[in-house]
Amino acid sequence: MRDREASPPENRHILVGVTGGIAAYKVCQVVSELAKTGAQVKTILTESAQAFITPLTLSTLSRHPCYTDKDFWQPERGRPLHIELGEWADVFVIAPLTANTLAKLVGGMADNLLTNTVLASQCPILLAPAMNTQMWLANPTQRNWQQIQPDSRYHSIGPEAGVLACDTVGNGRMAEPNAILTYIESLLQTGGKQDLTGKRILISAGGTREYLDPVRFLGNPATGKMGAALAQAAIHRGAEVTLVHGPMDTDFLQAFPTVEAWETVSSQQMHQKLLEKLPTADWVVMSAAVGDVRPQNYAREKLPKRSLPEALPLTPIADIITDLSQKRKPHQRLIGFAAQTGDIVTPAWEKLQKKQLDLVVANPIDQENTGFGSQTNTAILLDKQGNQETIPLCSKLQLAHRIFDWAVATAVAGEN
């Protein structure tokens, strides 16, 4: 398989439609962050949205004109504006999505620039609803929301629970800008394909801690960012996800209420939970950095400094991925990670063969902007047929999608 580069940012065309809700102010951050990456961003403001933010704000943040219905109805234009915008966009985001616009989308209405552009476009559309809790829970809104879900063009994020602008506490908050940005990145990577629909994916993430006493432990610098990216990518592609993780930031889970998440601390706890969840999984992705040894003895009270042993007796930790490999069923696929320094391919290939993995992700931890705690990563993917693919430096979410691209492709090849 050949190396392939991600599309340059300037070739990414993102159209953002804003409807009339107080959450419109959050969209300014989305537009600003997208423009900072070098992506081409264009915006549409409905008439009611202009009561909350102005076209000048969005045009300044996006470095492109912001379009309104006044632009739509100009007779001197060449090609119709909604056709141009619909053909131009790679991803179309509607945020906030109001109950009114949701009803229009379900009914196929085209009474303004935004709804006309929806019908004139073919790209994936990300919907980020935001409204009062009672409006969100109202039967017509829920009926419309359920009716639009089966349409493969539409992808949804949120709403989240919290304190709303009307002082209500409940569902209705628009998803946070970072969560929307992550989903946009996924849609740019996948084109909106849902090729993991029906798959149940078990993911381990973060590091483990082996305590000597209540305040001291043996651990590693793993932050769980790669595991979080894998979980997000899998959900965006339609999978059901179970996440078994060590201590890590789990704020991203607020946007994914369907994820079954289990927090563990020690390798033994992670081992037990993964074995418990293994029978229902189709794929297992072991991105967690699990310890190899633990202190032989545990002190229930903090040891005084003078009592710390000069030589710390250690005992080996059972290998989780080997156990999972031995206990899995024939249809279950197992993907491992091999964080290495120096030559990363040889030990990764040995791990794949010894532990009978379907795929291993060899990633360097001794290079700049890669490995533990970084926002980016690079890797070499190897499968049991001896194929390999080099992934150049990219975001961890992009790497997660490349891993799933490979896994899907090799699964299809195996079936044929």
Catalytically annotated residues: 166
**283 DSSP β-pair partners:** 201, 333
Instruction: From 273, 253, 257, select the one nearest 265 (Cα to Cα).
Output: 273
Q: How far apart are the first and last CA of the chain?
A: 17
The answer to whether 155 and 183 are in contact (CB under 8 A) is yes
The Cα–Cα gap between 391 and 403 comes to: 9
The Cα–Cα gap between 197 and 180 comes to: 21
SS3 388: strand
The Cα–Cα gap between 100 and 280 comes to: 40
The answer to whether 66 and 43 are in contact (CB under 8 A) is yes
CA dihedral 250→253→258→260, nearest 10 degrees, is: -10
**200 DSSP β-pair partners:** 240
Instruction: From 252, 338, 238, select the one nearest 290 (Cα to Cα).
Output: 338
Report the run of H or E that residue 73 belongs to, with start and end.
Answer: none
